[in-house]
Amino acid sequence: MTATHSRLRNGAVLAVMLGVLAGLAGGPAATAIWAVPLSVTGTATSGTVAVSATVVARDAEITNDDYQTTHVVTVINAQPPTTNFSGTSDLTLAVRAVPATGLGARMSAAVWPVTATTACTDTSEPPAGYQSAPFTTGLVTAPVAALPGASATFCVRGYPTSATPSPTAPPLAQNRAVVISELGVSYATSATGRQSFTPSYAGAVHRGNFTQQTNATGETTISTSLIYLSANVTGYPLLLGRSVAPAGTCWDVEAGHSTSPPGLSLIAWAGTCATQTAVNRNQRFIHIGAGGSSAIRIRADSTVVGNGYLEANEAGTLVQTQVDNFSELRQIWIGQITGSGIRFQYVNAATGLCMQAPAAAGGAFATAPCAMNDRFYMNWFIAVAAAEGTP
C-alpha cells in the first residue's frame, strides 16, 4: 500500500476499501476481510489513514463455449462520516496481471462503472465509453466521486485479446477459431487443457494531492479448461472417424449413400470400421479448409456434394448434413489435438460446443459442453470404397 499526502487539518482521516465479487454470476462465494492502519505525519499536519479491503473470491473458468469471465469490483470510500473533510473524494480501480505471463499475456480486461452489483452479469453488454487494455498493460479507471462511506462499483470483463468483450457479438457470438488460437494449450503441457493467471486489483481514494491505495491481489484465479492447440487437418482427402467413447463405434450418415435433400443425421455405427479396407461412402468424410489454419468444414462423401456439410442445429441436439453455406459458422469446426496420435475434439465455431457421440450405437450425434470423452480418432483412408449404402 502507498500513501502520499499534502497539508491536511489535524485529525483528518482518509480511507479506501476495496471489495471484489469475482467469478460467474450467481456462484457461491467465500469472504476474507482484513484492515491495516497506517500513520502519516507531516511537517504542518498529522492524521491517521485507515486502509481496509473486503474480498469475496471465486475461481473463474474459461471454456470453449464460455470464453469470458465477469467480476464485480467495489471500491469503498471508508472515510468515517465524522471526517474533517467535506464533500466527495475520487475513487479509482487499477487492474492488471502480475506477473503478466502465460494466460495473463493473452487476455484483456474491459472495465466500466455500474450503479449496482446486479447490473454486472455474464450477459451484461459493455456500454459506450468502456475502458479496455491487455492485462499485461493494465489500466486505471476514470475517477468516480464518492462521499464518505459511499462506494464505486465496477464491472470487469476478462476476454481473449483478439476477441471481443461483447457477449453477443454477431454473428452467433464469437468465432471460436479465434478463441482457440489465442488460448489453446498443448495436450502434452496440460492434459486438462488448463492454464491460469491471477489478476491484480488495486483501489485508491484521491483527495487533492493525497492518495491512499489498497491492493487486493490473488483473490481470484482465471483459468482455462479443455482448450487445446488445434491442427490443420485438411491434408488428406478421405477420413474415417472413430469415437473414443463409446468404443468401437464410428461416424455414419443415416440412410447411407443418398441423393435426397439435406438433413441427414450423423449417427454412431458399431462394426468393423476400425479395420476394414473398403469403407462405405457414408462412413467417409472430407476435411475442407475454412479460412484459417485450424478452421475446417466436414463434408460427408456419401451425399450430393452440395448437400453434405456437417452442421450443428441451433438447438445443439443434432449434427446433420446441410447445403453448402461458407458463411454459416455452425458448419465450421475446429480440431483440437487431445492426445497422442490423430485424436481430436471437434469444437463448433459458432457455439464453442463439442461434437458429442451418442451413448450407444444407432444414436445421433449432438453438440454439448466439451468433455474428455468427446474425442475421435481420425484414420486417413486412401483405398477406393467397394460398396455404397448402409452397412
Tens digit of each residue's pLDDT (9 = 90 or more) over 54-85? 444 455 889 998 888 888 888 888 877 765 66
Distance (Å, whole) CA 95 – CA 2: 16
The answer, yes or no, to whether the previous bond of 165 is cis (omega within 30 of 0) is no
Instruction: Tell me how crowded residue 387 is: count the other CB atoms within 10 A of its CB.
Output: 14
Between 46 and 335, whose confidence is greater?
A: 335
Instruction: Tell me how crowded residue 300 is: count the other CB atoms within 10 A of its CB.
Output: 26
Distance (Å, whole) CA 80 – CA 90: 15
For 46-62, letters b (16+ CB in 10 Å) and e give ebebbbbbbbbbbebbb
Angle at 329 between CA 165 and CA 315, to 5 degrees: 90
pLDDT at 340: 66
Contact 341, 204 (CB under 8 A): no
Between 382 and 229, whose confidence is greater?
A: 229
Instruction: Tell me how crowded residue 156 is: count the other CB atoms within 10 A of its CB.
Output: 23
Average pLDDT score over residue span 119-126: 88
Average pLDDT score over residue span 203-226: 79
pLDDT at 29: 33
Using alpha carbons only, how large is the chain's radius of gyration in Å? 27
Average pLDDT score over residue span 189-210: 86
Distance (Å, whole) CA 98 – CA 378: 41
pLDDT at 201: 87
The answer, yes or no, to whether the previous bond of 81 is cis (omega within 30 of 0) is no
310: amino acid identity, one letter: L
Contact 250, 281 (CB under 8 A): no
pLDDT at 387: 35
Domains of the chain: 3-172+191-224 (no CATH), 239-380 (2.80.10.50)
**Grid coordinates 502519516 are at which residue?**
40
Instruction: Indicate whether 385 pLDDT > 60.
Output: no
pLDDT at 169: 66
Chain mean pLDDT for the chain: 75
Instruction: Indicate whether 193 pLDDT > 70.
Output: yes
What is the sign, positive or negative, of the torsion defined by CA atoms of 114, 115, 121, 125? negative
pLDDT at 60: 83
The answer, yes or no, to whether the previous bond of 171 is cis (omega within 30 of 0) is yes
According to DSSP, residue 293 is labeled: S
Instruction: Indicate whether 6 pLDDT > 50.
Output: no
Identify the band that residue 273 occupies on the pLDDT scale cut at 50, 70 and 90.
low
Distance (Å, whole) CA 213 – CA 17: 9
Cβ within 8 Å of residue 106, ≥6 positions away:
160, 161, 182, 183
Distance (Å, whole) CA 300 – CA 256: 10
Between 285 and 26, whose confidence is greater?
A: 285
State which of 22-31, 263-272, 290-299 shows the largest mean pLDDT. Answer: 263-272
